[in-house]
Structure 1
Amino acid sequence: MVITSEADVTANLVIEVLNERRALVARVDPADVGPGLLFSALMGGGERQWSGRLRTPSRDIALEDVRAVYYRRPSPWRFRELEPQARDFAVAEARHGLSGLLANLPNCRYVNHPASITKSDFKPAQLRVAARMGLAVPVTLISNDLEEIKKFVAEREPVVYKSFRGAPPTPEGHVAAIWTQRIARRDLDDSVSMTAHLFQQEIDKVADARVTVIGRHVFASRITTPDGAVDWRAGDWDGLMHDPLEVPEAVKNALYSYLDHFGLVFGCFDFALEAADDSAGPYRWTFIECNPNGQWGWLPDSDAMADAFAEVLVKGWWP
């Protein structure tokens, strides 16, 4: 079962490989709940696991037959025809009922389990666990205290600001973004006390690295921008330069341990690469973050990644 929205092109890459392997694939978007998605599950009376069926216009699935779930990016709940209070109730019931059921299928492998995604999605946890696993992390301040932030900036310049989650969509549905950016004391005022902020001492990097780990498959790209931007996501993605990158064994092992800690099978890791000239390799690797449900379809080796996803999903139950 692939749990995602209809427009998810990244999931399409995995579905294509699964189809080539003749695995039986059902694509399900929980936000379709209603006449377009009907389900029923039963437990008790001697049964200790959920059993039942889920039906979409193209699939009729026995829940107990599902052996693997690729959890990607389902659509936001809809219920647009309902008044706000009724909508909030319907959303909560669907999340706890349908999503709760899909997260508790018997004898099922999840890549990744939604609870593991949620647990690992907090930056404070990511940085703490990365450091525990032996990875270098930037000097980081999380605060809403203006004086502490000013002190940090003064002592650690240059300093960058990062949002924890990015900007929400506008009321019209337009996607917004807040990129990593340098911050100076003159940019700070009392408004910082309104919410939490993350500041880090800037890494004097020569490039970025995106490391995608799927099971024990590791794919890495060195990413550089024509203008040396602080945040490579902020510019023209067509202008990004990707080069194959060898990941040191110590870093690989730390990433495996990181994923194991959170119960993850897959993660997209971002690193800052500093120039180094020693026996450890050409770069010093500094952990920036891990997206437990990140995008990878745009990377040069996306075909190999899709194959790795399919292998992890069907391993042990499908020829």
Structure 2
Amino acid sequence: MDGRPVLVSTQYEDPTADLVIAELNRRRVPVLRFDPGRDFPAPALLAARFGTGGTGEAGEAGGPGGTLTLGNRTAELGGVRALYHRRPNTYAPDHHDHPASQNARFVAQENRRGLGGVLGALPDCLYLSHPQAVARAEYKPAQLALATRLGFRVPATLITNDATEAARFCAQQPTVYKPLHAGAYEVDGEPAGIWAAEVAPAEIDDAVGRCAHLFQARVPKSADVRAVVVGERAFCVRITAPPGVLDWRAEYRRLTYEQVDCPAGLDRDLRRFLAEFGLGFGAFDFAVTADGTWWFLECNPNGQWAWLEAAAGPPITEAVADLLESGVAKS
């Protein structure tokens, strides 16, 4: 590939990444798109070199030299301009092995530490964002602690596996339950989502003891805001759902959107939040009350935004492409 390429690590079906890749293609920035969980160890080929002894050339500043090849496209690891770490599949076991076998587990771990380790050590590469930083930032307890420390308004929250504590918390104020991680979930073989839902004390039973649960005081919101931060730029869209809808994700067809400004100083605090985690991107969710107070709910380090651009017009694709094309992290 001529010129310094951008690596895009994501699933085959990712409309958000499609927009960015189309914009990079329009700018004639070389792109290598791949999914580590599906393309490695085949058909992708990795040859990464470190150190100063033996044959071959290692990369500068201790980073890897060598190549990553997929089909007829080859990227020089020492010359990668940026890695756009979106939503790749997890590293999979070799198809020759039973998924639960010892060999399968070994292969998946080696792939994650091998290819994943190389991708995390690229020299002079802009990460949007670094895979290890994304993994750290996905823990909601860490997010809530940091948001509180930075002065965000954070609803009272309880994380517990104790049914007695959960019932007591729910009795103190209107309370919602939400999952700690929005992972894949199916009902009768069909994809399903676990939305935030109001929960009453009488609904709490011993099933709480089967895993950690997150309970949070319900914010009497009038709307929601998704704030998408790309480097130094913040784009905020107000999302209004019909009355009585708690989780707007369950009512996409009935939502209205409006691009709005961040409250004074909030854009700075959003960037401080990302900097603490080492992120260059974040999709923040806020609940907004009638008096204009923004309550922090969470930050998705790889949150979706493409539909917001179509609905309200913030130029997020352009901002992401600008950062990837530059290959230079904003400070």
TM-score, reference length from structure 1: 0.92
Where do residues 272-311 of structure 1 align in structure 2 (5 Å cutoff)? 272-276=287-291, 283-299=292-308, 300-301=311-312, 304-311=315-322
Show structure 1 runs of 4+ deviating over 6 A. none
Alignment RMSD: 1.8
- Could you tell me whether the CA contact under 8 Å between 2:81 and 2:327 is conserved in 1? no
How many residues end up aligned between the 2 structures? 309
Work out whether residues 53 and 61 of structure 1, in 8 Å CA contact, stay in contact via their aligned partners in 2: yes
- State how far apart, in whole Å, the 1-side matches of 2:13 and 2:157 are: 36
Do the aligned residues in 2 keep the contact of 1:167 with 1:176 (CA within 8 Å)? no
Look up the match of 1:81.
Answer: 96
Equivalent residue for 2:49?
42
1:182-225 deviation line (CA, Å, top 9, x unaligned): 00011011121121111111000000011101011111111111
1:277-319: CA deviations, max 9, x gaps? xxxxxx10100000001111111356710110011112267xx
CA deviation string 1:92-145 (max 9, x = no partner): 110110111111111111001011111111111111111111110001111111
What is the one-letter code of the residue matched to 1:310? A
CA 1:303–1:39 in structure 2 vs 1: closer, same or farther (change >3 Å)? Answer: farther
Alignment counterpart, residue 206 of structure 1, candidates 207, 222, 247 = 222
Give yes or no for contact 1:54–1:61 (8 Å, CA) kept in 2: yes
Superposition TM-score, scaled by structure 2 size? 0.89
1:140 corresponds to which of 157, 163, 171 = 157
1:261: which partner in 2?
276
Q: CA deviation at 1:67?
A: 1.5
Which runs of structure 2 are paired with 1:186-201 in the superposition (5 Å)?
186-201=202-217
Cα drift, residue 77 of structure 1: 3.3
Task: Spell out, residue by residue over 1:227-270, the C-alpha distance to the aligned partner (whole angstroms, 9 max, x if none).
Answer: 431000112x1221101212112211110110111111100000
Matched, 1:152 2:152: no
Deviates more, 1:252-261 or 1:146-155: 146-155
Output the CA distance in 2 between the equivalents of 1:273 and 1:17: 33
- 1:51 deviates by 0.4
Q: Secondary structure at the match of 2:244?
A: coil
Change (3 A) 1:213 1:167: closer
1:7-34 per-residue CA deviation (whole Å, 9 max, x = no partner) reads 1111011111111211111112112113
Shift in alpha-carbon separation, 1:54–1:271, aligned structure 2, 3 A:
same
1:242 matched residue in structure 2: 257
- What SS does the corresponding residue of 1:26 show, helix, strand or coil? strand
Answer yes or no: is the 8 Å Cα contact 2:259–2:314 preserved in 1.
no
How far is 1:87 from its partner?
1.6
Aligned to 1:279: none
